[in-house]
Amino acid sequence: MRIDLADLDFWRRSPKERHEAFARLRALDRPVFFAEKRVPLLRSGKGFYALVRHADVVEASRNARVFSSEPGVTSPEPPGWVKHVFGESMVNMDDPRHARLRRIVSRAFSPKMLAGLQGDIEAACARIVDDVLAEGPRDFVSQVAARLPIHVICDMMGIPDDMRAAVHRQVDISTAYSGIRPSLPHTVRMAAQNTVALLALQRLVIRLGRERARKPRGDLISALVTANVDGERLTDRELGSFFALLLVAGNETARNTMAHGMKLLTDHPGQRSALLEDFEGRIGGTIEEMVRYVSPIMQFRRTVTQDYDLRGLRLRRGDKVVLFYGSANRDEAVFPDPDRFDITRDTKPHVGFGGPGPHFCLGANLARMEIRTMFRELFTRLPMIRTVGEPELLVSNFDNSVRRQAFTF
């Protein structure tokens, strides 16, 4: 099987085929270079080195001074006009700008803030299961996995109830855009829809931010637009970019893990039985193994800022590297029998929430809380719940997303 990670056809292959290809790349002496072809409406990159081993991904993640997130972390890189239209996302920044924004928004994910969300998350999970019982099982993604993260984020931010359906629609459009487009007309159409969706989300939260600056409430928007004790707050554009990032990244990690996770527990009845024998004692390890096994976000890109030796490879300033988290999480050197789903394994070094360093996922503990609470509610009230058939996956080189998954109980 020919391996070309820059070829969109590679990402149309089955997950099994892709994992086999990454295993072959991990067995090589050094990272492999892949030339990129021109992608309509996006920059035509000069190519990238694929970091597929766990140690290489961790090294690049920790050393943000050499492996820069600027000008962009997605593949292919977006054109320069994107940041002028949408503002610059903190995932595409290095320190000190990144540190400033992270310091401001990190208050949303403090232990105290998360503890205050627990009751609301439990109530939301109960309502979701109530609705599933009333409607009957159709699609696990739309009825369960996609609902909870959006609800929690909107509650945190203080988005009014009558605006939430529109927010959900715009997020779905943005998620679909991360998939592979089969033709130029389809790419143009999706790009236009995505632009409109992201601008709509930003306008909505900027308008709310201006209102909350005048009349603060007990929500995250109010906290982010009101100066804190250090005199720091988000500008309108920063608030809009953060909201878009929170909705897409914060939504996809929990959503994808729940959807893939239910399928994994269905396909591995022994693991499911072990979990249910001691749910509270084993759900923490189960979530970490799900995130390792699934790798909800599959990769991010970095730009090398100075000449650097990486495992015998001389990287030059300006070179691009791509951190393939899904491959690192199957590295045989770190995870014995890595293709086996095992809720009892030690998954502490996995990079499913990004590698260690300044860009480790801020919302990791929130995602864990959502997944834990949702599975507790599901297995308590629907003990026979299971998936039916194979999922419909989004064809993407970035987002390991389940679009639809039938289920029953």
Domain boundaries, the chain: 8-408
Q: Above 60 in pLDDT, residue 177? A: no
Q: What is the pLDDT at residue 194?
A: 63
Q: Above 60 in pLDDT, residue 107? A: yes
Q: What is the pLDDT at residue 335?
A: 96
Q: What is the pLDDT at residue 185?
A: 60
Mean pLDDT (whole number) for 196-210: 80
Q: Percent of the chain having pLDDT more than 70?
A: 86
Mean residue pLDDT across the chain? 87
Q: What is the pLDDT at residue 181?
A: 54
Q: Above 70 in pLDDT, residue 81? A: no
Q: Model confidence over 246-303: pLDDT tens digits?
A: 877 778 889 999 999 999 999 999 999 999 999 999 999 999 999 999 999 999 999 9
Residue 195 or residue 237, greater confidence: 237
8-408, what's its fold? Cytochrome p450 (1.10.630)
Could you give the CA distance from residue 252 to residue 142 in angstroms, rounded to a whole number?
13
When mean pLDDT is compared across 132-146, 193-207, 394-408, the lowest value belongs to: 193-207
Q: What is the pLDDT at residue 381?
A: 97
Q: What is the pLDDT at residue 336?
A: 95
Q: What is the pLDDT at residue 43?
A: 58
Predicted confidence band of residue 221 (pLDDT cuts 50, 70, 90): confident
Q: What is the pLDDT at residue 362?
A: 86
SS (H, E, C) the chain: CCCCCCCHHHHHCCHHHHHHHHHHHHCCCCCEEECCCCCCCCCCCCCEEEECCHHHHHHHHHCCCCEECCCCCCCCCCCCHHHHHHCCCHHHCCCCHHHHHHHHHHHHHCHHHHHHHHHHHHHHHHHHHHHHHHHCCCCHHHHHHCHHHHHHHHHHHCCCHHHHHHHHHHHHHHHHHCCCCCCHHHHHHHHHHHHHHHHHHHHHHHHHHHHHHHCCCCCHHHHHHCCCCCCCCCCHHHHHHHHHHHHHHHHHHHHHHHHHHHHHHHHCHHHHHHHHHCHHHHHHHHHHHHHHHHCCECEEEEEECCCEEECCEEECCCCEEEEEHHHHCCCCCCCCCCCCCCCCCCCCCCCECECCCCCCCCCHHHHHHHHHHHHHHHHHHCCCCEECCCCEECCCCCECCEEECCEEC
Mean pLDDT (whole number) for 86-107: 79
Question: Which residues pair with residue 68 across a beta bridge?
Answer: 303
Is this prediction's pTM over 0.85?
A: yes
Q: Percent of the chain having pLDDT more than 90?
A: 54
Could you give the CA distance from residue 253 to residue 246 in angstroms, rounded to a whole number?
11
Residue 237 or residue 309, greater confidence: 309
Predicted confidence band of residue 111 (pLDDT cuts 50, 70, 90): confident
Q: What is the pLDDT at residue 407?
A: 98
Predicted confidence band of residue 133 (pLDDT cuts 50, 70, 90): very high
Q: Above 90 in pLDDT, residue 85? A: no
At residue 112, what are phi and psi to the nearest 5 degrees? Answer: -65, -45
